[in-house]
């Protein structure tokens, strides 16, 4: 019985890590899309030098928002 409890606990822990990691990714994509919007509007300079990747950020954001 103890082995089952340990296995279940490990499984729950891994699932929680997966959920947190997924939300972390979504937050990063949203931040990149916001950065691109601000650079396009000439409100921020391209200080990260990542403006050339904005199309990918917008595509990833569309996938995230479409879920």
Nearest-5° angle of CA 65, CA 59, CA 20?
50
Phi-psi region of 6 (alpha: psi -120 to 50; beta: other; left: phi over 0): alpha
The pLDDT tens digits along the chain (67 residues) read 788 999 899 999 999 888 877 889 999 999 999 999 999 999 999 999 999 999 999 999 999 988 6
Residues, the chain: 67
Return the pLDDT at 66.
Answer: 85
Return the pLDDT at 18.
Answer: 83
């Amino acid at each position: 019985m103890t082995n089952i409890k340990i296995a279940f606990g490990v499984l729950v822990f891994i699932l929680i890590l997966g959920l947190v990691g997924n939300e972390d990714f979504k937050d990063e994509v949203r931040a990149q899309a916001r950065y691109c919007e601000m650079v396009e509007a000439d409100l921020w300079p391209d200080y990260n030098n990542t403006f050339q990747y904005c199309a990918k950020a917008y595509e990833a954001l569309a996938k995230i928002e479409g879920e």
